[in-house]
Structure formats: structure tokens, C-alpha cells
Structure 1
Amino acid sequence: MTSAASHESIIDKPYILDLFAGPGGLDVAGHALDIPSLGIEWDRSACLTRYAAGLDTLHADVSSVRQESFESLPPEINVLAGGPPCQTYSVAGSGVGRKALDDVKGFIERLMAGDSDEHIDEELRKLSDPRTALVLEPLRYAIQATRSPNRGHRPYDLIVLEQVPAVEALWRHYALVLENTGLPDGTKYKVVVGVLNTETYGVPQTRSRAVLIARREALGRPTLPAPTHRAYEAREWNRLEAASAGRGHQPTLDEGSVPAPDKGQGQTDTLSPWLSMGEALGRPVGTHPGRKTPFLVRSNYGSSGMAGRRGVRTDRQPATTVTGRISRFVVFEHLDDKIVHEGPRFSMNEAGMLQSFPPDYPWSGTAQAQQVGNAVPPLFGAHLLSAALGLPTPSPEALRKPWQRATEEQRAKLRSHGCGAADDCTASCPSSADQTPPRSVPIRKKAAAE
């Protein structure tokens, strides 16, 4: 990764608070940029992964920390980041959050007007799915920073957020109030919002994310990170594949990329081809033995609700969006362009690498595939942080080196800080019952006559 020391950041000594930190996507991005971070995560298994990775962590509920222990957070923190849970906003979810967007925008207006937390919380409890309200937490943290004696009432310099594309409208409302209304203390920000594709930043996976980057007004207007790789276009790939089959060979990576645009006046496109699964997994690295190529991947879930239309991609393409179902994807190995047998499915190490996590990242606890799928791709996160801080475009090389697992002593120290005990959770940690959020829509019981 390009050293942050070679280029002045727009703020001195950046320090990240990562809300809804998951297994560490944004923290790994910060690590690659030599930026310290503190993550808040409520899921026990994700915290175990973080401790094993050596990441500073609080095993806690984001809302509870804001309400009960905000003053204990390091006052040096000046970058607020996070990706609030997206289940209720996601196309794959129930859609409750999408229906509540107008209501949530109203809560944003009330927060910026200085309405009391008690009144806001009372209204939020009426939402059909409590996770919908979590998208407000970054704004509530930004406001709380200006009210914190421990911080000297100093606002965060930067805010970096990412979510599923359905939340773009909400980020734009965030931008509107941060720029025009400002926080209750008068602090205003310059903000940029957009929907970005992760494969255009070197992640070997197609994944679209709505992002927001905000800088305190005096620090200047931010820009979205410039892409480093070409976009993957399924129709273009299918056309090239059909044409190549007619010529008796398979399309190459360069053939499979979208043609470079003509910039005129002799200028050439400098974007690299998107990174394929074969490039990401083919070579041995660390304990990863290297994935035999060529291979073909069939996703576990259907397209547009139709199980018969399962997504199929080859090792010469980027992966489909990595979700918690990644461990169920079926991988077929080829011989002389013919499928001969089902090969081993993706390991958690490989699934993490498709998310751009370093090889040998120490996935721990249960539901590891869900941890991988929920995470921010670290390389994508590094691009967001670099753009926010005004740092050079990051190189993916640092994230391709095997991750060094924390020693037992380091892990115990981190867990003592995050959970209150070196080898166990304590009463301050979210309870086991809290680990499974309530259903957004109750299941209708069948009538006795049915």
C-alpha cells in the first residue's frame, strides 16, 4: 500500500472510529494505510475474528456506547466511519427500511434541529424493524461528538459511510442537511455521495455500494475515489465469449474487459482490466495452496427469484457479489474445456480473498461465511479512506500479503479491553439472545383447519 507518510493527509494523525465494524474490512483498510482504528461490533463471532486479527475492538452495541459510554472513547478520534446493517434496506431483505425512508429522513431533520434523544428514541421504537434506525447512528455520533466534554466539543473532521445502493437516497439527505443545515452546534460539512462498483477498484468481485464522504467545511470538498480498473459488463463478456468460442478459444482477461474509451488527442485509457477470480485465487500464497484453474462457479441462489436462473461465472470473471451464501457456491473444475467433476468449494480463506481480505485472515467463531459476506471489502475501503484523507490511490499489493495472526498475549489484551475478560465475554457484552435480531415481519401461523 502506498505509504501515507509520502503524502500529507488533510488532517493530522487520522484515527478511525469504525461503527458496525464487522470482522474488520475498514480496519484492515486503515491498517494498510498506517491509520489506527477502534471498531465497535456487537456480534461475538465477528469480535473473535477481530481479536485474532489484532484489531482494537469494543464488543458492544453501537447505540449503547453512544448513550452510556461515549466519554470513554479516545478523544483523538477524528474520522467517523461505518456501514450500518443493511438487511432492511437491501433488495434481498424485507424492504421495510425502503418503505420507511421518508420517516427516517424526518428523523434526520429532527436530529439536526436538536430534538431530544428521548423523543427520537421513543418514536424509533415504533418502527416495525429496529434495525432500520441503525442507519441514523453515524449522524447521532457526529452530533454527540460536538457535545462531548472529553473531546472538547470537537466535531469529527471526516465521515465515511457505505451501504447497499438502496440507501443512496438517504445518504443524499445526509449530505443535504450536513451541508445546508449543519449539526446543532453549527458545524457544516462538504459532502459527496455516489454509487460505486467494487471491481473498478481492484476487488475481484462485482458489488455496488452507496457511499458518502464528508469533510468538515474548512477542509475542502472531497471527491469520490477515481477508479483504477475497468468495469465488468456481463453483456460485453457474453458477447466476447460467444465470439471467442467461434474462433476456438476462450476470451482473455483483456478481451473480457470493457473496451477502453477513446479519450481523443492520442490519450489512452490507463485503467487496468478488472481482477478475475482466477487471478485472485490461482497462485499459492501463505497457507493458500492456489486454486486449480480453469474452474466454473455456480451460485447457490437464483436470479430474480427464479432458482433455475442461477448465476454462473468462470475463473476468468470476477466473482458475483459475495454474501453469506458464498460457502454454498458450487465450484466445477475443467479439463480440455469440459466440466469433469465438482471441485472443492471456496474455503473461508478464499472467500475472504474474493472480498480482498489478505490471505490467512483469521476467520473465527461461527457463521464465518456471513462475516465474510457482510464485510466491507478492505481494498474498496482503502480507496474510500484515501479519497477522504486526500492520500494517493492505494495499491492492492499490501492486501495480498498473508495476514499475521495476533499472538495469544495480544489477543488476550484486546479481548480484556473489548469484552472485559481475557478469555470470555462479560455482563457488559451483548447477550447471546441479542445476537439474532428479531424478524422484521412476524410469521403468520397456519390456521388449525389448514
Structure 2
Amino acid sequence: MSHAKTAPPSPAAIRILDLFAGPGGLDVAADVLGYRSTGIEWDKDACETRAAAGMDTFHGDVREYSAALFPHAQVLTGGPPCQTFTVAGHGAGRRALDDVLRYIERLHTAVREDGAEWEDIVRTWQGISEELEEKALEAEKVQAEKREVEALRSVERRAIKKSLQEHGSSTEDIKRILKALRASKEFDLEDANLKQLFEEYSALGTRLNSLKERLEKLGDERTGLVLQPLWWVIERSRRPGLKPYEAIVLEQVPAVMLVWKRYAKVLATLGYRTRTQLLHTEAFGVPQTRKRAVLMARLGETDIPEVTETHERYRPRTVPASSTTASDQANTLPWDIEVEGLDGTPKEAWVSMEKALKNARNIAPDLPDRPAFTVVSNYGTGGDPGARGTRDHDAPSATITGKVSRNRLVHKGTTTDLPDDSGRFSFAEAGVLQTFPVAYPWSGKDQPQQIGNAVPPRLALHVLRHVLEPELSEEEARARLEQAIVDLENWQPGEPVVVRKHGQWKGHPLTGR
């Protein structure tokens, strides 16, 4: 970055624009580091949380805005929604990923073409946008037809159930037949009316599968959203009258790493040094196992090394079923311990749920003080929906998702639920497991979903400091992070802010109006 070439400026001088900002995971990290950030977020509930937390926010779809509207932003960050890439079944995720990679290559060709004018680059982007819009409109029509077929199937299913009851089939037989019907199994039926119902149901199923395949090929709007940060970088780099961002930080689920690697090639053409890295959150002091694919970029000639892990990684180890003796149990740890990093520097132990919640109780004494507990996940494990995953209190949490409030807490070593007032994580506690301050003012609806979707602020501390402060020595960086972590835990919201809308530019520091 340019500021690394001279004396480092006050962090407050660095202005961050955060796309798909969510409830403020990256922004609260930026705040404790002393940076000023502005987020763009479409979800009204997340905007309510941001407003209560004092996070500067524009509400709306990122596609309604543009890089040119915020010419004074020096750093671009964001995590575009990319769940499409992890969709199972019929290769939908892979097709969506391939589409995005092809679009990125088209943009790359446009920006690296000798003598390409800004208007030529814009035409390429417009062509991509028009294709995505056409697909979106077609998908809406197919989705409407799919809903109609699903409704017809429900009617046929009820008619089949009623006919089976009239023919004297038992309740168990009806359940078995309806289950087989969902699996599209054929039946040899003598009753003409029932046979017709089965045939009609089967035909609707064939039609429904065809519609699903069409939808998968068309993709959805998230295919276009993942391209937005790249286009913003291109606009700032190539549009006359604008200056390039000094730095870029993007993060998402591991499946998006291929996108970031392709992004990196375009950014290199635009003059950036880049680094992609898969980060394990517990290796940075987050009391939760989660993996994030991160793209880091800086304008200029300063290379970006890997972000150094500060804590051990959590590696669960299952006790073999044959290990029944006391010595076997004693010699089999529930985790593997990584004693030191690649450079020989000792790492801290990963942070357990118990430790994180205890630290939070020191700040907010009204939080529950539980006995040893086990978290029983709302999700299945090993491909079996009924086999709920578990994690004990003295280990990091499993990945916090939007269903965190459905997880049960039971007494460790039993299936007995903890009392009602402590049998589930509160929103504040779920936030703490994401490393939000215990005082973070969660607001609006579906707060668990907001929490689950957020960037863990402690992870963001490491990445932002690493990218934006390359001039610090190892000792200075370590001290900076230690103080920031203390400040993050003790952070308190300031005055609530009013969320702005598109067009409300007056007086905003990033717009210059």
C-alpha cells in the first residue's frame, strides 16, 4: 500500500468499504483497530443490528451501487453470498462455479487487451450482466411453473392416500407406499382409478425433475453477486478519474477458493500483489472450528506473506470402539495437539467454548454459568440426519450456523437437557462463539441467521492488520493484535446511527458530496 512507503498514518485515515457487510463482523474488527468503515447490506434485519451497533451503513442491493459513488474508499472488503457453489445434487454447484469462472475470464480478457478503452471494458460487463438478467428472468418463470407442479403433486398425493384408505390399506402400508412413491417406484395395480392416480403422480414427478434440472442450469442471482467485488476493483482501476483501491480483502466458504484464485490473476493484471489462503478460525483464537477462503491484495510491489496462525488447530480423534480399558482411554486424547508452527514458534492452545463464555461472563455476569455440557447439533453427521453431531464444552464449538439456536445443551456424558434457562445458547453467547463482543446489540428478526452468516471479528482482526499494516515488525504486530483482542472483547456500542439509502450521499466521507 502507498502508506507503507512512508511513516504509517493514523488508522482512522484508512477508509474501508465493505460489500455484503452483514451485521458487522468485519466492521467491528475494523473499529477496534481504529479504521473507519462503511458497509452496504441488503438485509433489513442485519441493517438494524448495524445501526444499533453504530456501524455506518447503506441499505440496498450492492448491484444498485457502484465503485464510482464512493471515490474516497481506500480499501474494499466483502463476502458475496456463494452458497450456490456448495449445492449438492446434479452438479448444480459445479455448473454455477464454472459459469463464474468463465465470466471472470471474459473480464480478464477485456482488461488485459492492449489498447482497451474503458468503454470496451464496460461493454463486456454489460454483456455479462444482460446474460445473467436473462437467466434470472427465465429462472423466475421456471420457478413459478415448479410451484404449480408441486401443488398438483400434493393434490395427487392426497387423492392416492384417500384411495388407499378406501381400499382398506393399513396405515403402515399407506406410509410404505407413499414413501416408495416419492422414490418413483412402479407398482403393479389392478384398480384402474388408483393406477391412473399413480401414473399422473409419476408424470408430474418427471416434469418436476425436468424443471429442477432447468433451474440448476440457469443458476441463481448469487452467480452474479460473486462477480461484484471484481467489477468494483476493475472500475476503480480502469475508469478515468478514479484511483485504484489500495487494498482488498474478500472471504467466503472454502468452495469459493477457485474463484479467488481466478480473481487473483485479474488483480495481478491490475497491479496488485495477492495471496489466497484457507484459514482455520480456531487457529486464530476463535472458539469455533470453521474454514474460510480468503483473498488478500495490495496495490504495488509489497508481497503478502501468509497470515501466521497463533493457536493450535483442533483435530478431533474418535476413541476406537475396541478401546475399552482404562489405559486405552487414558492414552487416547479427544484431540491432536500441534505444539508449534512451521517457524518453530510455540502456539497457544485453541480456545474452548467454556473459556470464551467464561471470559464473556466476566464482562456480562448475567450470562448462564453452566456445569460441564455437550452441544448436540441440529444437524446430522456422517450422512445420517438422525446422528446428531456433538461437541463438549472444553473444545471449540462446531461451525456456528443460522440454526445455532436449535442446538441443545445437555449434561456432559448424558442425554439429559440442561435447565430451560441454560439449555440453549442465547444470542449474545452465540455471538461470543463467533467472537463478537458480548455487548453487541443484535437486533431485527432472525438474529441466529445474522450471527451464523457473519465473519468472525477475531479472524477479521488478523487479516485486516496483516494486509493494512505490512510495515509493522513481528513484535509490533503481536502487541497490536493483543491490544485489539482485549478491545474487541470489551467493545461497547456507541450512539445508534441512521441507515442511509441509495441517493443519500450528502455529507458522507466516502462520496465527497
Normalising by the smaller structure, the TM-score range is 0.7 to 0.9
**Number of the residue aligned with 2:251:** 162
Asked whether the 8 Å contact 1:359–1:400 carries over to 2, the reply is: yes
Runs of 5+ in structure 1 lacking a partner? 422-450
Three-state SS of the structure 1 residue aligned to 2:303 is coil
Give 1:35's aligned amino acid. Y
In the alignment, the residues of structure 1 paired with residue 283 and residue 444 of structure 2 have an alpha-carbon distance, to the nearest angstrom, of: 32
Does residue 34 of structure 2 align to residue 41 of structure 1?
no
- TM-score, normalised to structure 2's length? 0.69
Does residue 258 of structure 2 align to residue 178 of structure 1?
no
- TM-score, normalised to structure 1's length? 0.78
Give 2:371's aligned amino acid. T
Does residue 231 of structure 2 align to residue 140 of structure 1?
yes
Which residue, out of 167, 188, 192, partners 2:275?
192
Alignment of 1:84-95 (within 5 A): 84-90=80-86
> Are the structure 2 counterparts of residues 406 and 398 from structure 1 closer, same or farther at C-alpha, using a change threshold of 3 Å?
closer
In the alignment, the residues of structure 2 paired with residue 94 and residue 374 of structure 1 have an alpha-carbon distance, to the nearest angstrom, of: 26
Give the Å deviation of 1:210. Answer: 0.7
Does residue 368 of structure 2 align to residue 279 of structure 1?
no
Give the Å deviation of 1:330. Answer: 0.3
Which residue, out of 364, 372, 397, partners 1:294?
372
Does residue 213 of structure 2 align to residue 205 of structure 1?
no
In the alignment, the residues of structure 2 paired with residue 27 and residue 95 of structure 1 have an alpha-carbon distance, to the nearest angstrom, of: 35
Three-state SS of the structure 1 residue aligned to 2:430 is helix
> Are the structure 2 counterparts of residues 281 and 94 from structure 1 closer, same or farther at C-alpha, using a change threshold of 3 Å?
farther
* Larger CA deviation: 92-101 vs 105-114: 92-101
In the alignment, the residues of structure 1 paired with residue 356 and residue 381 of structure 2 have an alpha-carbon distance, to the nearest angstrom, of: 25
In the alignment, the residues of structure 2 paired with residue 205 and residue 244 of structure 1 have an alpha-carbon distance, to the nearest angstrom, of: 30
Report % sequence identity: 43
Give the Å deviation of 1:205. Answer: 0.3
Does residue 502 of structure 2 align to residue 405 of structure 1?
no
Give the Å deviation of 1:282. Answer: 2.6
Alignment of 1:23-422 (within 5 A): 23-66=23-66, 70-73=67-70, 75-90=71-86, 96-112=92-108, 113=110, 114=121, 116=123, 117-125=125-133, 126=135, 127-146=218-237, 152-179=241-268, 182=269, 187-218=270-301, 220-235=302-317, 238-239=318-319, 246=326, 256=335, 258-261=337-340, 269-283=345-359, 284-287=361-364, 288-334=366-412, 340-343=416-419, 344-389=423-468, 390=470, 392-393=477-478, 394-395=481-482, 396-401=485-490, 403-407=491-495, 410-411=496-497, 414-415=498-499, 417-418=500-501
Give the Å deviation of 1:120. Answer: 1.5
Number of residue equivalences: 389
Give 1:322's aligned amino acid. I
Give 1:246's aligned amino acid. A
In the alignment, the residues of structure 2 paired with residue 16 and residue 199 of structure 1 have an alpha-carbon distance, to the nearest angstrom, of: 26
Three-state SS of the structure 2 residue aligned to 1:300 is strand
Three-state SS of the structure 2 residue aligned to 1:100 is helix
Greater share of helix residues, 1 or 2? Answer: 2
In the alignment, the residues of structure 2 paired with residue 91 and residue 372 of structure 1 have an alpha-carbon distance, to the nearest angstrom, of: 21
In the alignment, the residues of structure 2 paired with residue 244 and residue 355 of structure 1 have an alpha-carbon distance, to the nearest angstrom, of: 36
> Are the structure 2 counterparts of residues 148 and 268 from structure 1 closer, same or farther at C-alpha, using a change threshold of 3 Å?
closer
Give 1:139's aligned amino acid. L
* Larger CA deviation: 223-232 vs 125-134: 125-134
**Number of the residue aligned with 1:17:** 17
> Are the structure 2 counterparts of residues 48 and 354 from structure 1 closer, same or farther at C-alpha, using a change threshold of 3 Å?
same
> Are the structure 2 counterparts of residues 77 and 231 from structure 1 closer, same or farther at C-alpha, using a change threshold of 3 Å?
same
> Are the structure 2 counterparts of residues 249 and 280 from structure 1 closer, same or farther at C-alpha, using a change threshold of 3 Å?
farther
Larger radius of gyration: 2
